Every structure is written in structure tokens, then in C-alpha cells.
A and B are shown apart, each in its own frame.
Chain A
Amino acid sequence: MRQNLDFHENFSIGLIYHALDGRKIHLLRMNGNHGETVENPLRPSPHFGYHIHKITPEEIADGAYYEPKFSQLTNKYESFDQVIYYFLKYVNIVDYSSYFKNTDQLSIFD
């Protein structure tokens, strides 16, 4: 989990799979509204806003484990607190409230 100290809307929560053979595969990353993102830099069709990167089977087959290219905009969260809650439910963390206190409580600013 990362959040920029200067720009609180620039944050990132990711899920990494640690394979037995030592590979670390970045399955998913939920990003804040840090700027522009494109799916294909050679044919940029930029979109802006909160977005989620997900790895594809093709990337896994190619050994491209660290920078999942597929991304889609989302309106499921708009703050760091909200993304934590959404992420924990999305990836199905069991009993997450034991580890992340007060995640279910939205702040008055949400």
C-alpha cells in the first residue's frame, strides 16, 4: 500500500502472488487519480481518473510480471480509505477487520 505524502489522491494498493519458484507476479493494482494512463503507448487513448491495473494471462505467459498493462477506470473508490475497503473486499481477504481496524467506517469526508 502506498500513498504520496504531497498528493493524497496519488495512491496505490496492489496484490502480488509469491510463487514457490521465486517469481513475484503483480496480479492487480488499484491506483488513485495520479494523471493519465493508456493501454497502448503506441496508440495512446488516454484516460484519467481512478483506475485498476490487472495482469492478463498473456503477460504471465510472457514473463511480464511487474507492470500489468490492462487498466480500466473505476468509480468504486475516490480516496485512500475507500480503496482499502474496496480492495479488501475485492480480493476477498478473510477476516480483514481483524487486521484493518475501522475499514468499514467511512470518514465524514467520504
Chain B
Amino acid sequence: MKEKRPGVYQLFAPFYHEDGDMYDIFLKRTEHVQSEDKFLKLTDYGMTLMRLSYAYDLDTPNKEKILHKILASNYLKLDEKGRIYLETDLENLISSILIFAQGIAKVSNMKLYQREVVHSLFFDTLKEFIENSLAQYQPVKNYHPLSNEAEYEVDYFFNNRQRPLYLFGVNSSSKAKLATISCLKFQNEKVPFKSIIVLEDIDVLPKEDSKRLMSVSDKQFPSIEDFEKNGQKYFERESELEVGIR
């Protein structure tokens, strides 16, 4: 322990954030003693939320709710200035320090909820849905319709019908452009297919990319959630349509 300010002691313990910075844990006497037992206060002086704000904003009621849930589950409180704290006594100081450190770690990990992390899970989510719910349509991953041109790739190919379905997962501008170019190429080469685009989130795709994609593709799902909700029914209708044509 080292006195940071009169009466405020900084704890130097081997609890580190991922970048090697030590957890900010301070010990002081409580300002208003509620009972004679709890006269010590562990606090971070707002440093945890300050660090969290480098990568994650608590800018919605939902996120604040999650924060309060994490704090409550870990016996921690938050004051009006964003300082996390835990009141304790000498007898329980060690376990309180461990609980406090654990709570700080969980709050700090809220940055894992941010969009970029969710964004990186898009293709995992798409794969899981297709393998679990569309297996009967015999999906083939990473299909190349043009044997001599491997740069034109389809994320999932469904060959259970006369006119196969080509599915493209799109979660970025570059993926949107690639899907657009691929569809145009296949159309120019007179490849028989019907294209399906599954967007991670239509609202974050640049308008121009979205327009181009809409112009060349046959069916678009505006979000992964929409595909999960309606994808199976779409495939059923497409199969019935094909049977009807035959």
C-alpha cells in the first residue's frame, strides 16, 4: 500500500488489465459510518469506468442496466461520480479485495459487448444457423461456380434445386462490393442461380453499397436476426415453388 493522498491508500496487488496496467484499488475510511462494523471503503475513484470509456460508451439505458446488474451481482456499488466502491471491515478485508478485483474485471470486460466483437461473430452465427436449420438443403461452403476463376466465391451453395441458391454473408462494405461483383460475373457468364444476401445489419452498410447489392441480387435479408427468423420459411417456399414449376 502507498498513500496516494492523506488517508487514501493505493493497493499494489498483482491484478492487471490486459495491457499490463494494474487495477486501480484504493482503501480509505468510510465517510459516513452506517454501522460500527463497516468502516473501511474499497474504491476505484472512477478509474474503471474511465478505462472502459476508451473502448465502450455507456450511452444507452440497456448498457447502464447491464452495468448495474454486474455491480449488484458482485456486491459493488456506484456513486454519483462513477466511482465503484465496496464497504467492508478489517476482518473481511482480504476477501473484499478479491471480490472487488473480480468485479472490476467484469465491468472492464463490458467492452467485449461492443459492436466490433459482435461484428466478428457474424459469420459464426450465420454458419451455425445454416448448419442447424438449413441442413436439409445440403449447403456447401465456399463454393466456386467458375472453375478457372477461384476469386469469385459463394459463401454457401444450395444445390437441392434446378436453379441453385447462392448465399452471400455481408457484414462490411468490402464484402458487399465482392458479393455485387460476383453476382454480376455469374450473370454475365450465364450461370443459372438465384442469389440470397444476408446482411449483418442493413443500417450500417453505406447506401451506395446497399443500392448496388439490391440491384443485382434476388433476395435480401436485412439482418442476421431477420434471416434466423424468416430464412427457413423462405427456403421452404423456394422448394415448393420449384416443385410447382416441375
Contact = CB atoms under 8 A, between A and B. Distances in A.
- Answer whether A and B are interacting partners: yes
Interface residues of B, number: 33
Contact of A12 (B54, B173, B174): B54
A41 B116 contact: no
B123 interface: no
A5 B81 CA distance: 9
B47 A10 contact: yes
A108 B230 CA distance: 66
A66 B171 CA distance: 21
A29 B16 contact: no
Interface in A54-93: 63-69, 71
Interface string A88-110: 00000000000000000000000
Given A4-B45, A34-B47, A66-B111, A26 B55 contact: yes
Contact of B50 (A2, A29, A64): A2
Q: Tell me the interface secondary structure of chain A in the complex.
A: loop
A6 B19 contact: no
B54 A26 contact: yes
B6 interface: no
B54 A71 contact: no
Interface of A: 2, 4-7, 10, 12, 14, 20-24, 26, 29, 31, 34-41, 44, 46, 53, 63-69, 71
Interface of B: 4-5, 10, 12, 14, 16-22, 24, 45-47, 50-51, 53-55, 81, 83, 111, 115-116, 119-120, 171-174, 204
9 contacts: A2-B50, A6-B46, A7-B5, A22-B116, A22-B204, A24-B116, A35-B21, A39-B20, A67-B19
